[in-house]
Amino acid sequence: MSITIADLQKKKETGVKISMITTYDATFARLVEAAGIDMILIGDSLGNVMQGRGSTLAVTVDDIIYHAQCVLRGCSTPFVVADMPFGSYQTSDDDGVRAGIRLLKESGAHGVKVEGGARCVNLVKRLVDAGVPVMGHLGLTPQSVHTMSGYRVQGKGSEAAETIYNDALALEAAGAFSIVLECVPRDLAARIQNALSIPVIGIGAGPDCAGQVLVLQDCLGMGTAKAPKFVRKFADLAPVIVDALKSYDSAVKDGSFPSDAEAYH
Ligand code: KIV
């Protein structure tokens, strides 16, 4: 039985923190489930970490469906959210409802995530009415990287903070079951979480949110680029993996792998 929205809401109400991590394949989905993590996000960050792109903009609904299908073959407990990629809902709410339904129907994900505040309110209502649970995403919204002039902390001045605060209230009123809040000052995140009854999942938003999310490869220290301040590496796997691969390479090249014991007789 997978974790439900009611379970997540109860955690928020009882002060039990919610853990979330991005995952893109079945192998890691199994490991994430074994670790007891509550929620998985098939983030459009797969454009960066899986496809090697410089942004999330080229990711398609088909890409998200493919990776979500892989993830859902590897786990059954976490609540799984599929990202609505750039271009799948900005053109019209009809397009957004169609994309949201496809994501649930074809991947088996339990909910979708949309980036944006006021402009997404009607879409969120329509998705929820259609039976598609929606997570909002405010603050740094990577699909708007160019309008934001890069990946930078959002909500710093009082006007910018008010906009994000009001957007959060509007998304909750529209029926969002949770909101990701990315790269905003700690006090703004705390104010938003205090005002909302739904769980806020922070990333670069400080410790006062109901839960936290990280990109898996950042969390495990598998990235090559310099990580932002909010990333904590819970392991440093990149050198471990490279060392293992170097040992394999040497063993193949010096003839010690495979040995006779590793051969069939
Ligand atoms: O795409 C993604 O991985 C995300 C998280 C960083 C929240 O949106």
SS (H, E, C) 30-93: HHHHHCCCCEEEECCCHHHHCCCCCCCCCCCHHHHHHHHHHHHHHCCCCEEEEECCCCCCCCCH
* pLDDT for the residue numbered 223: 86
Residues in the chain: 265
Whole-structure pTM value: 0.97
Per residue in 95-150, pLDDT (tens digit) is 999 999 999 999 999 999 999 999 999 999 999 999 999 999 999 999 999 999 99
- CB burial class (10 A; 0-12, 13-18, 19+) of residue 17? middle
- Where does ligand 1 bind, in terms of residues with CB under 6 Å? 22, 41, 43-45, 83, 180, 182, 203, 213, 215
Note whether 29 and 23 are within 8 A (CB).
yes
Which residue's CA is minimally distant from atom 1 of ligand 1? 43
How many angstroms separate the CA atoms of 225 and 140, rounded? 19
Per residue in 184-233, pLDDT (tens digit) is 999 999 999 999 999 999 999 999 999 999 999 999 999 878 889 999 99
Asked if residue 1 has pLDDT above 80, the reply is no
For 141, the token pair is 């919204």
Average pLDDT value for the chain:
97
- Ligand 1 centroid from CA 247, angstroms: 34
CA 52 to each of CA 27, 63, 99, 162, 218: distance values in angstroms, whole numbers, following the listed order: 19, 13, 24, 35, 14
159 as an active site residue: the answer is no
Query: Which of 180, 219, 230 to mutate for ligand 1's pocket (most ligand atoms within 8 Å of CB)?
Result: 180
Note whether 46 and 71 are within 8 A (CB).
no
The helix or strand, by DSSP H or E, that contains position 159, with its residue range, turns out to be helix 158-174
Which residue's CA is minimally distant from atom 3 of ligand 1? 43
Q: Which of 115, 159, 182, 262 is catalytic?
A: 182
How many angstroms separate the CA atoms of 263 and 261, rounded? 6
Q: Return the ligand 1 atom nearest residue 182 CA.
A: 7
Note whether 165 and 206 are within 8 A (CB).
no
Per residue in 11-24, pLDDT (tens digit) is 999 999 999 999 99
Q: Return the ligand 1 atom nearest residue 43 CA.
A: 1
For 91, the token pair is 């053109």
What residues form DSSP beta bridges with 181? Answer: 138, 202
